[in-house]
Every structure is written in C-alpha cells, then in structure tokens.
Structure 1
Amino acid sequence: MTALHLTLASASPRRRELLGRLGISPDAVVPADIDENPLKAERPRDYALRMGEQKAAAITAPGYVLAGDTVVAAGRRILPKTETEGEARDCLQLLSGRRHTVLSSIVLRAPGGSLKSRISENVVRFKSLSPEEIDAYIAGGEWHGKAGGYAIQGAAEGLIQWIRGSHSSVMGLSLYETRALLKSAGFAIG
C-alpha cells in the first residue's frame, strides 16, 4: 500500500489522539468552518451524517479528507455542544438517570470528491445525578464545547452506569469505522 495524503477536518485534539491509536498521523489538520445548527425537524442520525459530509466537503486540500461529527440525542432531541454552564447543566439534568444515544459519523472524501461514510450508534446511561454531582462536574470545566455537555474520557466516565457500543465513538471518533474506511481507501493500517 502506498502513502496517501490525509487531512483531518477537525480541531478536536481527541480525534487526532484517537487517529493516532490507529498509527495514523494526518498530514494536515484543518478545521471545517460550517454552520452546525440542526435543520428544523432534522433527526439526530441525519444531522450527524450531514455534519460529517459538510465538514469533508468544506475543506480544500490535496488527497483525502477525513471528517466526522458526534451528536448526543435524547430521543429525537439533538443536544447542543455546550458553550455555557447553563446549557451544560440543562443537558446533565436531562441525561440524569436515563439512557441516550451518541451518534458518531465518519466521512472520507477521496481526491476525486466522492464521499464514503459510516455512522456508529451507541447507547449511554448516566446514573441518577445529584445536584452536588452536577455542580462538581460543571466546576471541572470538561463540559465546554462537548456534545451533550460531557466528555466520556474525563470525570463523566465515573457517572456512567453502562455503555452499549464503542467507547472511542462516544469520545468523538469510532476507531472501528475509521479503520474500515481508511483500509478500503488503501491506507496501510496494521
């Protein structure tokens, strides 16, 4: 297999770290600047896939472009990437004691512009969170910019009763799906 130019369309240090677990270091990291607002009545799965595809299409770079998005949904409700403590608190109160879905899309754009995509669907259940547990999590600051107001790779992991699916996907990049897409494109992966 030959070396291929790969651009990661994400500013997320977690996605870059996860890609490194596959032994891949992107040739470039170029965050996509797109409107990430859900469309009216858009379903979470459709939204996750659309975001990944739009991010891949927005990057002008040689070779391959790898993009993705992670969406936390409570039923059909798409939770925000929290920017304020109030948003994070609202998300955690909503997720407390219940299960929710985490959808992680991964999209690979080939040099000719064709897109291949996959989506990983995961179910996560939080314990019933006390106000003190929510306050402590908010105080830690991990919630900032995170879909659904939490980061599974941090302190929130201690608040999660169980997960059905891919831990890496909930972090932001399904390693299984990413590996499959890259291998099908000819990337040398062990």
Structure 2
Amino acid sequence: MSHHSSFIYLASQSPRRSQLLEQLGIAHQLLLAHAPNHPDEAEDAEALEAVRPNEAPTTYVQRVTALKLDAAVARHARRGLPPAPILCADTTVAQGRTIFGKPDDAAHAAQMLAQLSGSTHRVLTAVALQHGTQRWSALSVSRVTFAPMSTEQIAAYVASGEPLGKAGAYGIQGLAAAYVQHISGSYSGIMGLPLFETAQLLRGVGFAL
C-alpha cells in the first residue's frame, strides 16, 4: 500500500481523541458536521447512536462507528476535500448486555454511577479507518473496576460536570480516577481511542509511526 498521506481526517468532536492522535504524532484535521451554515449537514447524532432492541454492546459500538464513518465519508465527498484517510471511533460502556451511553442529565449520570460503583464493567471502543474505497476496523475491549462510591461522592462527582457527554458518565482521565481500583486492557481505549489498534490501522495505509 503506497498511498502515503501526510495527515488524516478525524471525524470526532472529542478533544481527547485529538490529543491521543497528537500523542502518536499523527497530523490530523477535524472533519465535523457544522450544522449552522449547512442545514443539510445537521446530522442527528442521537439518531446515529440509538440502540436497537436486544443489541449486544459489541455489535452496537461497531455499528455506530460504521455509521459515523459513513457520514464522515459522505461529508468529505460533498465538500470536495483533498484525499486522506478518515478515522472514526465510538466508545460504549457496558455491564453485561446493558449499554450505558451518555447521560441525559445530572440525575441520569448519578443513576449510572450508582450502578457502576463497586463493580466491574467493560469499555468497548471501536475504531474504523477509510482510505479511498477501502475500510479497516478494530475493537478494543477493556475492563474497569470501580470502588464503592457513596451517594455523597457520586453527587460531588456529578456536580463537577465531568460525567456529562461521556459514555458511562465518567472520564478515566479526570476526577473519577480517584475511584478506579483496577483496569485491564487499553488506557487510551478507555479514554476513547485505543492507540495500539489505531497505530496498526494507520500503518496499514502507509503511515510510518
């Protein structure tokens, strides 16, 4: 594979994913839907992230990542942008077959954290990369064990604002770390972009890392 790009497009609003790519030294441009000037591009992220009945967490996270990448590839074509690989990722938190998405509000965040408290859950991050018409994907699965959290501790963490906008209502790289007893798997995957798997995909399209 000798199409050597000097950069990639990252189709994610997550500042953490952007920072993780920087950690690998990967030059990237954000490829986002900017709805205000392009009403046709007001993609419904919530519709993209809707869970189907009885859907297994691994199936779900891979399906949503593929949908996000489809939308990004279409956006890239519509805008007539220079060719380069397009990277997408999605993270979901699961306990058994229960999927924990982003909390609706503070009360929902507190409810999620109460369920995660004192137990182990899985963090699934799917990554997909498209270059031209070809697509490659990978899945990172990690386990996180939370120490028991009191109602007061949960309330204080929710009040920090950190849980909002994050799958499972916490960020491993923030204040929640005080309650993370054990992790196994990929720390960067738990943050939202598993660097080992991402590096493998990028090497496959000719990036020298």
- The two structures have a TM-score, normalised by structure 2, of 0.86
1:141-180 equivalences under 5 Å are 141-180=161-200
For 1:177 and 1:148, locate their aligned partners in 2 and report how far apart those are by CA, in whole Å: 22
Q: Do 2:143 and 2:183's aligned partners in 1 also have CA atoms closer than 8 Å?
A: yes
Q: Work out which of the residue numbers 126, 138, 162 in structure 2 matches 1:118.
A: 138
Say if 2:9 and 2:85, in contact at 8 Å, map to a contact too.
yes
Cross-structure match for 1:42:
55
SS in 2 for 1:148: helix
State which structure, 1 or 2, has the greater radius of gyration over its C-alpha atoms: 2
Structure 2, gaps ≥5 residues long: 34-40, 77-82
Any residues of structure 2 matched to 1:122-141 within 5 Å, and which?
A: 122-141=142-161
TM-score (norm: length of structure 1): 0.94
Counterpart for residue 26 of structure 2: 24
Structure 1 unpaired stretches of 5+: none
Q: CA deviation at 1:147?
A: 0.2
Distance 1:134 1:117 in 2: 35
Which shows bigger deviation, 22-31 or 141-150? 22-31
Distance in 2 separating the partners of 1:96 and 1:28: 35
Partner of 1:87 in structure 2? Answer: 108
- Counterpart of 2:55, as a letter, is E
Q: For 1:28, give the aligned amino acid.
A: L
> More helix by proportion, 1 or 2?
2
Q: How far apart, CA to CA, are the structure 2 residues paired with 1:174 and 1:5?
A: 18
Question: When the two structures are aligned, how many residues end up with a matched partner?
Answer: 188
* C-alpha displacement of 1:5: 4.5
Q: How many percent identity over aligned positions?
A: 40
Matched, 1:184 2:194: no
